[in-house]
């Protein structure tokens, strides 16, 4: 139990990076209307084009930085990469604090996007320091921390003076760098670099055991096997069932992917689930929350409703973190996507046809993010940290997050003209359709990975047909 406590504390410190990412990501939500107004705090009001860039510029930064994430993960390690991301965010808040020019604000938002790789780094880091029994919950905590960051941003940004909020954001990033320095590097990264003694010390740190204990030696041996899978003409997973054969020579990344059927299937499964995470639309609602609430529920202060939205997302994230290991990833994704689709369908018809009182809009405006967070907002990111063998983990994680950034940029950039052209109703119809498709895909193609280590997960994808187990 003491060992798990150390892993939980380590997870909390790693999650300070995603808290800070949530703070900066939600910052435009309550400043868009301010920056467009004649009373803007900037040297001039933003134009419509600049507002579109303001809400999407971070994704451009993410598109540029994400391709390097796999290389940096392996080159400088998980811990230093987390500290680097916090340092970048400190620079962002410094620019916002000392400049009032529109161009510098857009530059700062662009730089903040380069820290979007925290979702790759922190997810991999947490997954590698935690035992399989709590890995799902701890990895999902990463998304809870993101929700907490957004909640802090709504609360502080909505009720503090503009300048005070900037100083708070800067202070949070500096605090994160100090806290991260306490942690040990991931044992998998250390072992992959040949530092076996340091890897044993790292495991001992996160398990609260002596470095020469039997449990540590056994775990080191398991990590060695995971880092050096035997490969033959079929798949890496099938070769492991043939211990009498000599190990095959080390393969290049491309050859490994060509040989490993399970790795390819795991990648495409996560690819479609990551598409679901973006296409169900919550990222748009979070960025444009005040505008949506102003249009849909004009009788209540939009800032207050936005704070409640962040509270709902954070609470749902906490529930999802526990449910990933309690109920499993697959049922959570299926039923939550169905709930998201129904909520979007109700919202779309209500906003377009006004068939009911405004309280219906308010209720489903909160049911929608709760359903999303329990499913598409959590499960794909948990799977990102656990589906892949060490040989392809960094590369596949980088590709998937890069894809997510590209989709987020496109959606956020085209949203303003799309909203003006069709209105809120049809926008939610699109979200509903894609949510139902996500549920169908998960039903037929997503296996359950709860409580399994990476080798056991790979055997699920190695089979000719993905099993529909629900355990």
Place of tokens 């950039």: 413
pLDDT at 250: 64
**Mean of pLDDT over the chain:** 84
pLDDT at 247: 47
Domain carrying residue 233:
228-259
pLDDT at 80: 94
* Residues 246, 274 within the same domain: no
Say whether pLDDT at 34 is over 80: yes
* Residues 278, 333 within the same domain: yes
pLDDT at 340: 94
pLDDT at 249: 57
Place of tokens 């929350």: 289
Structural domain includes residue 252: yes
Say whether pLDDT at 241 is over 60: no
Q: Would you say the pTM of this structure is higher than 0.75?
A: no
Spatial separation of the C-alpha atoms in residues 390 and 73, rounded to whole Å? 12
Say whether pLDDT at 415 is over 50: yes
Considering 205, 237, 259, which residue would you say is the last residue of a domain?
259
Query: Quick one: tokens of 295?
Result: 């249009």
Say whether pLDDT at 11 is over 50: yes
* Residues 341, 405 within the same domain: yes
**CATH number of residue 49's parent domain:** 1.20.1250.20
* Residues 233, 177 within the same domain: no
pLDDT band of 411, cuts 50, 70, 90 = confident
Say whether pLDDT at 240 is over 50: no
Closest CA relative to residue 56, chosen from 412, 415, 304:
412
For residues 31 and 107, which has the higher predicted lDDT (pLDDT)? 107
pLDDT at 167: 94
pLDDT at 440: 93
Say whether pLDDT at 233 is over 70: no
pLDDT at 467: 45
* Residues 307, 364 within the same domain: yes
pLDDT at 1: 61
Structural domain includes residue 128: yes
Please, are residues 274 and 399 in contact by the beta-carbon 8 Å criterion?
no
pLDDT at 16: 94
Please, are residues 136 and 329 in contact by the beta-carbon 8 Å criterion?
yes
* Residues 342, 269 within the same domain: yes
Quote the percentage of the chain above a pLDDT of 70. Answer: 92
| Averaged pLDDT, 434-447 | 92
């Amino acid at each position: 139990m003491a060992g798990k406590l150390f892993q939980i504390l380590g997870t909390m410190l790693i999650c300070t990076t995603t808290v800070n990412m949530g703070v900066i990501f939600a910052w435009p939500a309550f400043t868009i209307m301010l920056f467009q107004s004649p009373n803007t705090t900037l040297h001039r009001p933003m134009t419509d084009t600049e507002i579109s860039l303001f809400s999407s510029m971070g994704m451009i930064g993410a598109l540029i930085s994400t391709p390097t994430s796999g290389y940096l993960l392996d080159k400088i390690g998980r811990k230093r990469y987390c500290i680097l991301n916090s340092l970048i965010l400190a620079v962002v808040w410094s620019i916002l604090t000392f400049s009032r020019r529109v161009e510098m604000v857009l530059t700062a938002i662009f730089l903040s996007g380069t820290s979007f790789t925290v979702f790759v780094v922190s997810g991999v880091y947490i997954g590698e320091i935690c035992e399989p029994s709590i890995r799902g919950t701890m990895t999902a905590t990463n998304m809870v921390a993101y929700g907490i960051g957004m909640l802090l941003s709504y609360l502080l940004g909505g009720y503090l003076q503009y300048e005070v909020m900037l100083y708070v954001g800067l202070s949070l990033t500096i605090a994160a760098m100090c806290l991260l320095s306490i942690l040990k590097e991931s044992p998998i990264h250390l072992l992959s670099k040949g530092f076996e003694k340091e890897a044993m010390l790292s495991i001992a740190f996160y398990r609260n055991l002596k470095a020469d204990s039997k449990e540590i030696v056994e775990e080191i041996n398991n990590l060695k096997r995971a880092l050096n899978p035997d490969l033959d003409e079929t798949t890496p997973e099938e070769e492991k069932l043939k211990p009498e054969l000599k190990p095959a020579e080390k393969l290049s990344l491309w050859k490994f992917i060509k040989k490993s059927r399970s790795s390819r299937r795991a990648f495409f499964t996560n690819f479609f689930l990551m598409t679901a995470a973006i296409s169900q639309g919550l990222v748009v609602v979070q960025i444009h929350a005040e505008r949506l609430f102003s249009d849909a529920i004009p009788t209540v202060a939009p800032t207050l409703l936005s704070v409640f939205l962040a509270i709902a997302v954070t609470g749902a994230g906490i529930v999802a973190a526990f449910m990933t290991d309690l109920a499993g990833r697959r049922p959570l994704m299926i039923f939550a996507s169905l709930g998201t689709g129904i909520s979007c369908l109700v919202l779309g018809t209500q906003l377009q046809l006004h068939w009911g009182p405004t309280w219906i809009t308010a209720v489903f405006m909160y049911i929608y993010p709760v359903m999303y967070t329990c499913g598409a907002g959590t499960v794909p990111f948990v799977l990102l940290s656990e589906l892949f063998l060490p040989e392809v983990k960094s590369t596949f994680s980088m590709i998937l997050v890069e894809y997510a950034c590209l989709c987020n940029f496109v959606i956020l950039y085209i949203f303003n003209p799309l909203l003006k052209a069709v209105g809120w109703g049809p926008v939610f119809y699109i979200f509903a359709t894609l949510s139902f498709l996500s549920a169908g895909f998960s039903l037929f193609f997503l296996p359950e990975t709860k409580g399994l280590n990476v080798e056991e997960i790979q055997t699920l994808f190695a089979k000719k047909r993905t099993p529909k187990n629900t355990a």
